[in-house]
Homo-oligomer: A and B are copies of this chain.
């Protein structure tokens, strides 16, 4: 498996200059950037699947189709590798957030979009949730050392502050809620549901990750937050959920 993925590498990364002049079949090929990327990707999977202490350096190497030595050569030791993965994860979500462009929507729609984005991002990137959990179990010990992440200081909060202010001015929102509180609440509603779905599913005896459950959750979250902000009924916002299903929820055991 490891060997085969290594050969795959040789095929996929061969340069344009690689005509048919390959006399002796090379044992391996240089590709520092690609190697680094594959290492970080493999490390992301390993760390999110097993946590920091549970992650195995050898497994990361194997998954990356690399020799273990490569990790130390290209990134550093286990902790440095972990921090690099963490920084990459933050970098990714921040950059996607930047594209959200809430300024041009009317306030309630902006909040709805923010909730939906957060929910979908967490759904699409479960490793991100795991990495955050892992880092919080370590009380952010590594993140505190990071110079990069501190400078990322979310301009996102400013986006939300603006939306809230606009909402208050237009009369859509009833309170000038603290944007950080709001952001944390929105993240919390999605994050907890997804990151704790395993134990919650056991406890409540229902699969929280099937299609229907996920649809209902999104509708619930949007309804909860928008109802609180606008003072209107939750039911008004749950357009994603058909009336039939809404009734059945009340009866669910």
User: Known: A139-B198, A227-B227. Contact between A185 and B175, CB under 8 A?
Assistant: no
A233 CA to B140 CA in the complex, in Å?
36
Is A174's beta carbon under 8 Å from chain B?
yes
> Does B196 lie within 8 Å of A132, measured CB to CB?
yes
Which residues of B are found within 8 Å of A216, using beta-carbon distances? 178, 181
Which residues of B are found within 8 Å of A192, using beta-carbon distances? 184, 187-188, 191-192
Interface residues of A in 167-213 (CB under 8 A from B): 174-178, 180-181, 184-185, 187-189, 191-193, 195-206
Which residues of B are found within 8 Å of A152, using beta-carbon distances? 203
Is A5's beta carbon under 8 Å from chain B?
no
A139 CA to B184 CA in the complex, in Å?
24
User: Known: A51-B53, A54-B52, A134-B137. Contact between A149 and B221, CB under 8 A?
Assistant: no
Is A150's beta carbon under 8 Å from chain B?
yes
Q: How far is the CB of A191 from chain B (nearest CB, A)?
A: 5
User: Known: A196-B136, A221-B185, A252-B180. Contact between A153 and B234, CB under 8 A?
Assistant: no
Is A217's beta carbon under 8 Å from chain B?
yes
> Which of B157, B177, B202, B220 is in CB contact (< 8 Å) with A149?
B202
A sample of 20 inter-chain contacts (CB < 8 A) reads A51-B53, A53-B54, A54-B54, A133-B195, A136-B196, A136-B198, A139-B198, A143-B198, A153-B203, A157-B204, A174-B234, A176-B250, A184-B192, A184-B193, A185-B224, A188-B191, A191-B196, A227-B231, A228-B228, A231-B232
